[in-house]
């Protein structure tokens, strides 16, 4: 019986994968495009990586990178089945690159994988490149560019409703108990922000990047402030206005589609919750100058933002790890993260006094895990709303970010500061009231 070239390649793939499974002591299987598994006796419903399209093999061999793997996953050519990325991360081999290179038989891998080099590969052009090039990339680098914001937030309100809490808070929750659900964690977060800002009746409060209006509505309802929010997302603005009307908050809460730098007037308290990541490192000076201009004397500013770990030099810090580069290209175009030292330096050098810094890393790891699992549970509805590729990208993003927070490669801090002045800050002598 004649063996076809396709069958020979399949045999070679099995041989290579069997070697890798044994050499690296893998705790999961690989399922090939014909339905066979390596090892052959792996359970049919067990945790496994699925290579659904033979064309994924030459793509990985020619360009072995995280970006290639992400793109193959988004296209469905590679998948994780019998579990999620969370389970896969728990069971992946805990080996360094040098350990892997020492254990594998390189001549065997070259011999078995060489035939795939000369076959057709899945397109090397990332799945969302056309959309990025036509939209967000055109305005990249200006700081909170509207096209960048719309690319991420204007997917559809219905899509975000599938995995966010009822208030649609799209930032880190606050878990007074790790077993709390996402709705409880987000309510507690909104309340913690208001308490840290010492909001009280009569205060004029600004939320920079107000999203769907959860914080401005909460602050007005429970703390009696007059609140204003700004966003660059038309989808968010429309839902925020609906929420304000539904709750009878007209006259006490207003929102508008506007760059915060174009705002006029003064506010007693300002919050920036999960917005600063969009500003970009080159726009920090303009950002903090604008916040200071909008804040009344001795007013309070709460800065809530994701950061990266600091490095020994600015040059080293600006080098992007592959997963960070992928996040900013596929999910948050135009976004850049600072480190907590840079945050404090920027605040102090632009006329603020820093009072409190609180790390919420584990809270965001838990938040994004809950989001990812909720979105996966709504797979059919999500695909119907935004298509399979975007659904897969968001699942990968939320899961990957959760793991990055869990491992500490991403951080998040809430930093409370006031507009610097002489004399007393007006804050109480302790923070006991925040945590009682």
If you average pLDDT over every residue of the chain, what do you get?
89
**What is the model's pLDDT at position 133?**
44
**What is the model's pLDDT at position 132?**
43
Percentage of residues of the chain with pLDDT beyond 70:
89
pLDDT per position as a tens digit, 233-254: 999 999 999 999 999 999 999 9
SS3 of the chain: helix, strand, coil, percent, to 5: 50, 15, 35
Confidence of residue 315 (pLDDT cuts 50, 70, 90): confident
- Angle, helices 322-330/66-75, rounded to nearest 10 degrees: 40
**Dihedral of CA 98/103/109/110: which sign?**
positive
Contacts (Cβ under 8 Å, ≥6 apart) of 390: 155
Closest CA to 88 of 14, 24, 20, 27: 27
Confidence of residue 326 (pLDDT cuts 50, 70, 90): low
Residue 152 has pLDDT above 60, yes or no: no
What is the enclosing helix (H) or strand (E) of 406?
A: helix 388-407
How many angstroms separate the CA atoms of 51 and 35, rounded?
Answer: 9
Domains, the chain, in order of start with CATH, read 5-117 (no CATH), 146-435 (3.40.50.150)
Q: What is the mean pLDDT of residues 322-350?
A: 81
């Amino acid at each position: 019986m004649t063996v076809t070239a396709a069958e020979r390649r399949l045999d070679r793939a099995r041989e290579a994968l069997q070697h890798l499974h044994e050499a690296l002591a893998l705790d999961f299987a690989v399922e090939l495009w014909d339905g066979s598994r390596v090892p052959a006796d792996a359970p049919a419903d067990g945790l496994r990586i699925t290579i659904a399209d033979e064309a994924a093999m030459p793509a990985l061999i020619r360009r072995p990178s995280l970006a290639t793997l992400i793109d193959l996953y988004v296209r469905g050519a590679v998948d994780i089945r019998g579990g999620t990325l969370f389970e896969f991360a728990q069971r992946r081999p805990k080996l360094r690159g040098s350990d892997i290179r020492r254990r594998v038989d390189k001549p065997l891998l070259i011999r078995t994988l060489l035939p795939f080099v000369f076959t057709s590969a899945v397109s090397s052009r990332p799945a969302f490149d056309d959309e990025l090039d036509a939209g967000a990339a055109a305005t990249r680098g200006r700081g909170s560019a509207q096209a960048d914001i719309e690319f991420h937030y204007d997917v559809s309100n219905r899509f975000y409703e599938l995995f966010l809490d009822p208030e649609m808070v799209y930032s880190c929750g606050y878990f007074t108990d790790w077993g709390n659900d996402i709705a409880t964690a987000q309510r507690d977060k909104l309340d913690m922000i208001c308490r840290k800002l010492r909001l009280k009746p009569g205060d004029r409060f600004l939320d920079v990047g107000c999203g769907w209006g959860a914080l401005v509505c909460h602050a007005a309802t429970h703390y009696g402030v007059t609140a204003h929010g700004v966003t660059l997302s038309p989808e968010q603005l429309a839902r925020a206005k609906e929420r304000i009307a539904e709750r009878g908050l007209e006259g006490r809460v207003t929102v508008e589609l506007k760059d915060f730098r174009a705002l006029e007037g003064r506010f007693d308290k300002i919050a920036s919750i999960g917005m600063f990541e969009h500003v970009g490192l080159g726009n920090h000076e303009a950002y903090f100058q604008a916040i200071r201009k909008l804040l009344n004397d001795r007013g309070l500013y709460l800065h809530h933002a994701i950061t990266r770990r600091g490095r020994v030099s600015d040059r080293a810090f600006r080098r992007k790890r592959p997963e960070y580069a992928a996040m900013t290209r596929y999910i948050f175009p135009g976004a850049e993260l600072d480190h907590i030292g840079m945050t404090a330096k920027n605040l102090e050098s632009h006329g603020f006094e820093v009072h409190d810094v609180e790390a919420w890393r584990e809270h965001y790891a838990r938040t994004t895990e809950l989001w990812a699992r909720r979105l996966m549970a709504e797979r059919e509805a999500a695909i119907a709303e935004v298509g399979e590729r975007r659904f897969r990208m968001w699942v990968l993003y939320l899961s990957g970010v959760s793991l990055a927070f869990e491992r500490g490669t991403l951080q998040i801090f809430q930093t409370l500061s006031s507009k610097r002045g002489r004399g007393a800050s007006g804050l109480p002598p302790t923070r006991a009231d925040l945590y009682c």
